[in-house]
Structure 1
Amino acid sequence: MRKTLRPIMFMFVLVIFAAVLAACGSENAEEAAADVNAEAEQTEGVAEDTEEAEADADAEASEVTVTHDLGEAVVPKNPETVVVFDMGVLDTLDTLGVNVTALPQENVPDYLEKYKGEDYQNAGTLFEPDFEAIYGMEPDLIIISGRASEAYEELNEIAPTIFMGVDTTNYVESFKGNVTTLAEIFEKEEEAAEKLAEIEQSIEELHEATTASETSGLLIMANDGDISAYGPGSRFGLLHDDFGVAPTDDSIEVTNHGQNISFEYIVEQDPEYLFVIDRAAVVGGESSGQQTIENELVKTTRAYEEGNIVYLDPVNWYITSGGLTAVSEMVEEVKAGIE
């Protein structure tokens, strides 16, 4: 009897053990499934975070945040509709091959004459933008400088607006910063870097020449009979600060319109070089800069007697100052004037 029961008991134990294993296996399977689901959810969450991060990165890659003197603007890269209120900026964009939509057409200098054509829209004047016309253009970007600065708030309500005036107390670095920013917006970094390198080399060569020869000079603006002087740190101070021409008077008042002077002052200073910007030549007037300057008093100065009166191009220095082409030519003008 006992021999018969032993196999039965053994089988019963095996069944119970199998049941227990099955139960344990089921629990493990459920736990495993739960773990898989958790990992899947975590992976899905990581994927979503990655997609969001990639979307943010794409958005950042397609935008440029520009901090300027009047505020900050988030600007789309390669904006299609661009309105420009600075002739120096227009010069730079033209040099870099960037399309411009609208500008104050009556202020365009001859070497940018194509912008007076029908392919471009008129945006008002440098001082008075045509807000209604600009609004209708639905611009992606508006660029201004000092002359249109009072219209900044209203323009900024129409589209992202950036101020790109040149800091005359730090002219070359400010100019380079503006060009670099424009190059980043329009993805023209390589072209801009090449142009800036050429200009920097020219400025370095000019500075070496002027300092080695101890060249000194006085820069004045002639404005239809009136004259004013500009020294270091002024609107045209790069002649001294960056080009290396020593000022005959380092105490000239620093103002945007220059220090009013007399012809007797020029005689008293007796400059080695007299640099002249004829404002009337670009804004209109009854007398030319040469007629104003070359009078009997100035003819007694060393600059006149030695043929060292240098008439600078007023377009480059007064209208398109800060542009890639203009700055390059400004360097060459001074270099040619002192050779």
Structure 2
Amino acid sequence: MTPPEADFRKSDKRRQVFGATLDATNWIAPVKTIFRSVTLAAAVFAGAAAFSPALLAQEKAVAHVQGETTLPGVPAKVLVQDWAVFDDLSALGVSVAGVPSSNAPAYLADQIPADAIQIGSLFEPDFESIAAAEADVYFIASRSREAFGTAKDILPTIDLTVDNGSILEGVEKNMTTLGEIFGLEDKASELNAALDAKVAEVAAAAEGKGNALVIVTNAGKLGVYGPDSRVSWVYNEIGMPSALEGVRDGDHGGDAVSFEFLLEVNPDWVFVVDRDAGTGENAGAAAALLDNELFNQTTAAQEGQIVYLDPQASYITMHGYQGVMLLLDQVLEGLNG
């Protein structure tokens, strides 16, 4: 005989749900309860994830001149051993927790936090203070680049050294890199576009104005900066031809020359870097040194075509975004007379 089919439409028939015997008319309620419990648990987990930086952080590999450094996410606590990098970060609106303890440029004075940690001089980092700060990232550059070997074992370290032969390109590259690190790509692009526009404006003003020399004064001595110097963009990007060929750029004092030789070269324009003022040793030393009979016979002196560049922007930071913009404005003002 064939057994009769079960009729689940009848109220006296029973169903098994998760091991419990349920009446056909009330089996839905427990299932709804289970569903609500699972949904609530998922929501709680999702909410926790939303407030957990560790869960949301995305690692970012940052390429730089000494290799590649991986950051676990957007850095919150930042240390900077170089004023040019501080300059860039400040232009982007990024807060900095630790700064160099020496040679702070006057044009950045009101941007430096009063409670900033002092992490050593431009050349000699204080690794004990750096380690104690427990920061998320540490930026070094030209003067502090030798610190990389030690610093990278303490915290993520990035070297933003710029090649003097292509300063403006390096400034924009660093701005782009920092924008990517801090999620400020649009701001970085905006700043770079403003720099491009300013360079174009100065280049247009320089056209047909003659040749130029960038000279550096240093403890009573005179030197010339060339196309690989701290302000090489005067020649390379602005396009003013150098009045002197074959300049051997020195690290501090440029290519040493005499006033007799400078008169023989006879530049149309002179842009002056006062190293003494830049390092805080003797403000106004350059003007005093250049006020002599030989220099006053040059075309630049006789035509009033001498521009004294901001000493700290041109000697201390030189690769910082705001400093370069300041110098470009000074050159533009001089050219437009």
**1:151 Cα deviation after fit:** 1.5
Structure whose residues are more often helix by fraction? 1
Between the aligned partners of 1:242 and 1:319, the Cα distance in structure 2 is 20
Structure 2 unaligned blocks of 5 or more = 1-53
Between the aligned partners of 2:323 and 2:173, the Cα distance in structure 1 is 16
Q: Is 2:251 the counterpart of 1:256?
A: yes
Instruction: Indicate conservation of the 8 Å contact 2:80/2:96, yes or no.
Output: yes
Q: What is the SS of the residue equivalent to 1:274?
A: strand
Instruction: Indicate conservation of the 8 Å contact 1:73/1:160, yes or no.
Output: yes
Alignment of 1:87-102 (within 5 A): 87-102=83-98
Aligned pair count reads 282
**1:214 Cα deviation after fit:** 4.5
Between the aligned partners of 1:61 and 1:237, the Cα distance in structure 2 is 40
TM-score, normalised by the number of residues in structure 2: 0.79
Alignment of 1:287-326 (within 5 A): 288-326=285-323
Alignment of 1:259-298 (within 5 A): 259-286=255-282, 288-298=285-295
Match of 2:239 in 1: 244
CA deviation map 1:106-157 (0-9, x unaligned): 3222232246554211101111111111111112111001111121111111
**1:61 Cα deviation after fit:** 7.2
Between the aligned partners of 1:111 and 1:254, the Cα distance in structure 2 is 26
**1:75 Cα deviation after fit:** 2.0
1:134 aligns with one of 123, 130, 134: 130
AA partner of residue 167 (structure 2): Y
Instruction: Indicate conservation of the 8 Å contact 2:106/2:312, yes or no.
Output: no
Between the aligned partners of 1:182 and 1:220, the Cα distance in structure 2 is 32
Structure 1 unaligned blocks of 5 or more = 1-57
Instruction: Indicate conservation of the 8 Å contact 2:65/2:159, yes or no.
Output: yes
Match of 1:157 in 2: 153
Change (3 A) 1:77 1:226: farther
1:147 aligns with one of 127, 143, 147: 143
AA partner of residue 63 (structure 1): E
CA deviation map 1:266-312 (0-9, x unaligned): 11110101110111112134561101112111011111111111111
TM-score, normalised by the number of residues in structure 1: 0.78
CA deviation map 1:8-54 (0-9, x unaligned): xxxxxxxxxxxxxxxxxxxxxxxxxxxxxxxxxxxxxxxxxxxxxxx
Between the aligned partners of 1:310 and 1:146, the Cα distance in structure 2 is 26
**1:174 Cα deviation after fit:** 1.4
AA partner of residue 204 (structure 1): A
CA deviation map 1:185-242 (0-9, x unaligned): 011111111111111011112223323x143111011112111111123332111001
Between the aligned partners of 1:106 and 1:169, the Cα distance in structure 2 is 26
1:225 aligns with one of 220, 226, 235: 220
Between the aligned partners of 1:111 and 1:332, the Cα distance in structure 2 is 14
Change (3 A) 1:322 1:107: same
Q: What is the SS of the residue equivalent to 2:95?
A: coil
Between the aligned partners of 1:114 and 1:187, the Cα distance in structure 2 is 25
Instruction: Indicate conservation of the 8 Å contact 2:61/2:70, yes or no.
Output: yes
Give % identity.
Answer: 36
Range with greater deviation from structure 2 (293-302 or 69-78): 69-78
Match of 1:235 in 2: 230
AA partner of residue 242 (structure 2): P
Q: What is the SS of the residue equivalent to 2:319?
A: coil
Instruction: Indicate conservation of the 8 Å contact 1:108/1:115, yes or no.
Output: no
Change (3 A) 1:117 1:106: farther
Between the aligned partners of 1:164 and 1:338, the Cα distance in structure 2 is 31
Q: What is the SS of the residue equivalent to 1:106?
A: coil
Max radius of gyration: which structure?
A: 1
Between the aligned partners of 1:239 and 1:269, the Cα distance in structure 2 is 18
Between the aligned partners of 1:324 and 1:170, the Cα distance in structure 2 is 14
